[in-house]
Amino acid sequence: MMDKCQITDRASQANGEQRNLKNTTISHTTSQTDRRSFLHQSASLGAALALNALATPSAAQPNAKKIKVGVIGCGSVSTKYLPHLANCPFVELVSACDIIPERAQSAATKHQVPHHYPHIDQMLTGAPFDLFVDLTDMQAHERLNRQALEAGKHVWSEKPIADSVAAGQKLLELARKKGVRVWGAPTAVQSPQFAFMAKTLAAGSLGRLSAAQASYGWRGPDWAAFFYTKGGGSLPDLGVYNLTTLTGLLGPALAVVAMTSIVTPRRGIKDKGEIDVTAEDNAMVMMDHGNGVFSHVQCGFNYFTPHEHDRTDQGHHTITITGSGGTMTLAGYDWAPHAVDLATREQPKFKRHADAKHDYVWQNGASLVAECLVTGREPLFTPEHALHVVEIMTAARQSQETGRRIPLRSTFKWPVVS
């Protein structure tokens, strides 16, 4: 199952391709990168130290070819992560943990995980492991990630890594102090379709860029209340993918204008009955990428789709980027992409690209960072990018509350493939 867990060939191929590209029409980013690059650079130092420690077999790390992994949160998403981790050649599954102990026990039995725990304290003091994989409720991530970092564990977190960009930066600082790494979902920038779109933009094939739009929604989960309460919402659960992809393609956002609403004020949740919805379930977010380029993301828990939540087979277009000389549009979701359709002045009939069978799956993040920790090679996703998206989401809510355009301060290394 090497194909599902390998980052290195795709990443270096994308990097190689990008190195030869010229004439990007997005010229604002040099100064942005300079202005904001300190975060990434300082992160890299601690990172390099930690990676070297793991990549070199030593007496302290006699089995440096595999990363020992502990998974916390054995609910819905763990049923996708655990098989992927179990098939990853760089991973040894050590422990499973859930505050609902029977979930931890059942996940451990099903995936031959030798240890299971009902609480993080027992997990962190129990069987030793290197990488903490956080698949818990969104509201628990920041606290659990901090506790794991304090215990000297590397962290892979489902989105969001933290509730605010300031808290997330403190986590990065803590990771640096401890000589460990922290990363967060999503991994959409790793897909071959993202690479094709980035390459097309960098080649200037769309002419002078102006606008992009993206959409992701469905009728919403019915298995957990946290999606609908403070700290949850459709932005951190759904919008986060498109926000990551569009900032990954067009560059860090400078400012946000947004409207959010609650369309369905009460929801039926399995095991809980009806609950009050207190986090937005409908959002429209506009981003200013500088140089006159705007993009727009809409997301929500009130969208009918023919494929419901298992939409890996859906092929309609979800992201479109337009310029004076061309337009390109992604078939499928950015977390389950199929192909990119491109039309330009020279080739005005849409032509399909990046439609070869590929092994990108959205649940690959923890396996990819385990590979990264073993080999020392970097993935394309970064914690700074994840935190920039956290800032966009908090700014979107602030914009709704105040009716104002909200300037952003954070950034990340861009272009993503360079």
**By CB under 6 A, is residue 223 in contact with ligand NAD?**
yes
Q: Which is nearer to ligand NAD, 200 or 234 (CB)?
A: 234
Instruction: State the Cα–Cα distance between residues 380 and 418, nearest whole angstrom.
Output: 10
With contacts defined by CB under 6 A, name the span among 137-145, 264-272, 370-378, 400-408 that binds ligand NAD.
137-145
**By CB under 6 A, is residue 77 in contact with ligand NAD?**
yes
**Residue 267, strand partner residues:** 275
**By CB under 6 A, is residue 231 in contact with ligand NAD?**
no
Site string for ligand NAD, 26-65 (x = CB under 6 A): ----------------------------------------
Q: Which is nearer to ligand NAD, 103 or 154 (CB)?
A: 103
**By CB under 6 A, is residue 100 in contact with ligand NAD?**
yes
Q: Where are the alpha helices (DSSP H) in 21-77?
A: 29-36, 38-55
Q: What are phi and psi for residue 21, nearest 5 degrees? A: -90, 145
**By CB under 6 A, is residue 136 in contact with ligand NAD?**
yes
Q: Which is nearer to ligand NAD, 137 or 163 (CB)?
A: 137
**By CB under 6 A, is residue 281 in contact with ligand NAD?**
no
**By CB under 6 A, is residue 146 in contact with ligand NAD?**
no
Instruction: State the Cα–Cα distance between residues 253 and 324, nearest whole angstrom.
Output: 21
Q: Which is nearer to ligand NAD, 39 or 104 (CB)?
A: 104
CB of 162 to ligand NAD, least distance (A): 12
CB of 315 to ligand NAD, least distance (A): 20
**By CB under 6 A, is residue 217 in contact with ligand NAD?**
no
| CA-based nearest residue to 191, from 411, 391, 357 | 357
| CA-based nearest residue to 356, from 196, 135, 128 | 196
Tell me the CA distances in angstroms from 291 to 97, 385, 391, 401, one per residue in order: 47, 20, 20, 27
Among 64, 86, 224, 259, binds ligand NAD (CB under 6 A): 224
**By CB under 6 A, is residue 163 in contact with ligand NAD?**
no
Instruction: State the Cα–Cα distance between residues 78 and 334, nearest whole angstrom.
Output: 20
CB of 227 to ligand NAD, least distance (A): 7
Tell me the CA distances in angstroms from 106 to 33, 71, 93, 151, 198, one per residue in order: 46, 13, 14, 26, 42
Q: Where are the alpha helices (DSSP H) in 75-205?
A: 78-86, 101-110, 120-125, 141-150, 165-178, 192-202
Among 73, 220, 248, 337, binds ligand NAD (CB under 6 A): 73
**Residue 332, strand partner residues:** 317, 337
Q: Which is nearer to ligand NAD, 92 or 142 (CB)?
A: 142
**By CB under 6 A, is residue 142 in contact with ligand NAD?**
no
With contacts defined by CB under 6 A, name the span among 48-56, 132-140, 280-288, 381-389 that binds ligand NAD.
132-140
Instruction: State the Cα–Cα distance between residues 228 and 275, nearest whole angstrom.
Output: 9
CB of 239 to ligand NAD, least distance (A): 11
Give the total of residues touching ligand NAD (CB under 6 A): 23
- Answer for the pair 196, 14: CB distance below 8 angstroms, yes or no: no
| CA-based nearest residue to 71, from 57, 102, 92, 44 | 92
CB of 163 to ligand NAD, least distance (A): 12
**By CB under 6 A, is residue 312 in contact with ligand NAD?**
no
Q: Which residue bears the tokens 């390109």?
A: 328
With contacts defined by CB under 6 A, name the span among 73-81, 315-323, 337-345, 399-407 that binds ligand NAD.
73-81
The torsion region of residue 264 among left (phi > 0), alpha (psi -120 to 50) and beta comes to beta
> What is the torsional sign of CA 321, 407, 195, 5?
negative
Comparing every residue's Cβ against ligand NAD, the nearest one is 75
**By CB under 6 A, is residue 255 in contact with ligand NAD?**
no
| CA-based nearest residue to 400, from 279, 311, 316, 304 | 279
**By CB under 6 A, is residue 413 in contact with ligand NAD?**
no
Residues engaged in binding ligand NAD (CB under 6 A): 72-77, 97-100, 103, 120, 135-138, 140, 144, 158-159, 223-224, 237
